[in-house]
Chain A
């Protein structure tokens, strides 16, 4: 095991104000069980889970309430004991409504004792003697998906298609989003768990080399990881990355750690022999295997200058934002903007009634001082977005094409490669909403491709 400095630097990127000092010294605190949980069936990327319970049912902590529905999907488990109050469509952070179960956690079970908050749900496995298939199955039945933000089903990622081999397992501890410190605290406080997770994943993936990527502004986390990994055998390196947004992006992390470039979509990291996992996900895998604990709770950073006491909260999935804010001492000043996730890629939300999911890394309440009211102007062709774009795209061209409703031109400008990191909008002196334009173009293209596929399928059926 050794610590090295990253040899590769990607072109582009920006330096937003990190504002991490608000919550970085706050140890992870467990949230007392809220009286109501809203468990969404769509906490991951891919097909939403199929709801298995109905109003009036009493569910146990860890019980499967949503069934895996398709290949790219994961199951959803109840985060606590409770009675199902309602099964209805609830607004998620991204603005889409999805089926959700509303649990009243104050109801006691009719028979038996209430479940303890950390009682094992699945039989613990010894990872050394368990087979690869057993471990993969455990990851799948624990309902684990990527906890960095996108929520890709982890069992799918850890099971490369035939003919593809994982050469590098990359642990994403960059946490380049401003304000967020959840991954930092996990690395600091749970480094031994990360090591255990790495050993399990190495077994599942057939012994790849391991690279742990951490930004240089987290020396304490690097020290904690060095201590935990000191006596590990095999090819393991901690790679210290330069401080640059979006260093935590999967593709840029692969380049920064091993110098490989992921081709244009639909190519995936596995096509260049890499699997990237967030450090939080690795801990979840360790817990699922060794303790038999499915993914029921996660660390979320509650921060921003409008929160009384910024904290890193360990909360059950399905906690309403309002409960998180109340736990952090409420609002210091009236927030002008509430963001689910980080300030660069997070979603602005209009209500605190939205529940957390397996992918909620942060909740930010920003006062009027931090929120800039702007009006978009015309592009002045300064080229700042071209310099900022980490994917080497021409964001100005794309945004002008979308303004003219010319989605084809945006597609020709490779908008599908856009990772929506927000670096272009961040530096735009005309305050153009470039990332939004890219997102719109991508949605239109995806809708068109889906329609074409449906048409082709209908024609084939005929």
Chain B
């Protein structure tokens, strides 16, 4: 009994000495600002900044290898807080949200086949380009919704929709979409073109009732080419988000009915 107590106490004493010495000579000094910056970041660990989680971004910020303001989730307030800790200038970030550039619902866009494979857009796209007649359009199998860290995307009527209030603009959905039709747009922009098909009008019309035909009417109605509110890719109008149109009247004048005022899905959750 006594021997056991002495042995255990002895082992304990030796271990304590080893630990004490190790603490003194082997300790790693960590910049205390890393902890402070991590606390100032939103803690969503969404990865939208391109670093592994908020901690990874904080380390890069303190090391000076990452620009302040890359955190879409935290926005301006976060950038200002980080700026205060690190003593650098706060970069102004405009809040950006994801926009699904397709409005071809099941009733508007034709489906050319029955797809009954795995419910994932990337898999569906590998199968003859997907079951949608329009090979540029949203397949609606929810690859974006599955990666969204904030549950901001829902699928309704074969189409993904983003809840603007929940979206933190991390861009994960942009990367995962096989059709590359999700774009991060300024949250303040209200007029959008909800189509991704650059084909000629008749070809678009064959597969979708609400596809952009490239008629340039939106451009004409918003002050012409000089105003620069739209850019065209093939036969597809795209809003120039550096200079977005403000006149919401042009939406109703779109003959293809592929434009929308603030299409962000606002209900639910």
Question: Which A residues form the contact surface with B (CB < 8 A)?
Answer: 91, 93-97, 347-351, 373-376, 402, 405, 433, 436-437, 439-440, 443-444
Contact = CB atoms under 8 A, between A and B. Distances in A.
Contacts of B118: 376, 402, 433, 436-437, 440
Given A95-B128, A97-B129, A443-B122, A350 B117 contact: no
Interface string B104-139: 000000001110111010110111111100010000
B116 A95 contact: no
11 contacts: A95-B129, A97-B129, A350-B113, A350-B129, A351-B112, A433-B117, A436-B118, A436-B123, A437-B118, A440-B126, A443-B122
A348 B129 contact: no
Contacts of A93: 128
Nearest to A451: B175
A97 B128 contact: no
B128 A375 contact: no
Contacts of B117: 433, 436
Contacts of B116: 373-376
B146 interface: yes
Given A93-B128, A95-B130, 9 more contacts: A91-B129, A94-B126, A95-B126, A350-B113, A376-B116, A433-B118, A437-B118, A440-B126, A443-B126
Contacts of B131: 350
Contacts of A402: 118
B123 A439 contact: yes
Contacts of B146: 405
Contact of B128 (A348, A405, A437, A443): A348
B128 A347 contact: yes
Given A350-B112, A373-B114, A405-B146, A440 B120 contact: yes
A12 to B, nearest CB: 23
A402 B118 CA distance: 10
A440 B123 contact: yes
Contacts of B122: 440, 443-444
Nearest to B132: A350
Nearest to A93: B128
Contacts of B129: 91, 95-97, 350
Contacts of A97: 129, 135
Interface of B: 112-114, 116-118, 120, 122-123, 125-131, 135, 146
Given A91-B135, A437-B118, A348 B126 contact: no
Contacts of A433: 117-118
Contacts of B130: 95
A443 B135 CA distance: 19
Contacts of A347: 127-128
Given A97-B135, A373-B116, A350 B128 contact: yes
Contacts of A95: 125-130
B258 to A, nearest CB: 21
A348 B112 contact: no
Most buried by A among B122, B129, B146: B129
B126 A439 contact: yes
Nearest to A399: B118
A53 B259 CA distance: 37
Nearest to A91: B129
B132 to A, nearest CB: 9
Nearest to A431: B116
Contacts of A436: 117-118, 123, 126-127
A348 B127 contact: yes
A385 to B, nearest CB: 16
A93 B128 CA distance: 6
Contacts of A91: 128-129, 135
A177 to B, nearest CB: 18
A437 B118 CA distance: 7
A461 to B, nearest CB: 16
Nearest to B113: A350
The 4 A-B pairs of least Cβ separation, nearest first, read A95-B129, A350-B112, A350-B113, A95-B128
Contacts of A375: 116
Contacts of A348: 113, 127-128
Nearest to A444: B122
Contacts of A376: 116, 118
Most buried by B among A347, A349, A350, A375: A350
Contacts of B123: 436, 439-440
A91 B130 CA distance: 11
A402 B120 CA distance: 11
A443 B176 CA distance: 12
B210 to A, nearest CB: 20
A95 B124 CA distance: 9
A375 B114 CA distance: 12
A347 B126 CA distance: 9
A348 B118 CA distance: 15
Contact of A349 (B120, B126, B128, B135): B128
Contacts of A351: 112
Nearest to B133: A350
A405 B118 CA distance: 12
A348 B123 CA distance: 13
A216 to B, nearest CB: 34
A436 B112 CA distance: 20
A437 B120 CA distance: 10
A402 B126 CA distance: 16
A44 B105 CA distance: 35
Contacts of B125: 95
B149 to A, nearest CB: 13
Contacts of A96: 129
Nearest to A433: B117
B131 to A, nearest CB: 7
A439 B112 CA distance: 23
A419 to B, nearest CB: 16
Most buried by B among A93, A348, A374, A437: A348
Nearest to B131: A350
A117 B128 CA distance: 32
A322 to B, nearest CB: 15
A93 to B, nearest CB: 7
B269 to A, nearest CB: 22
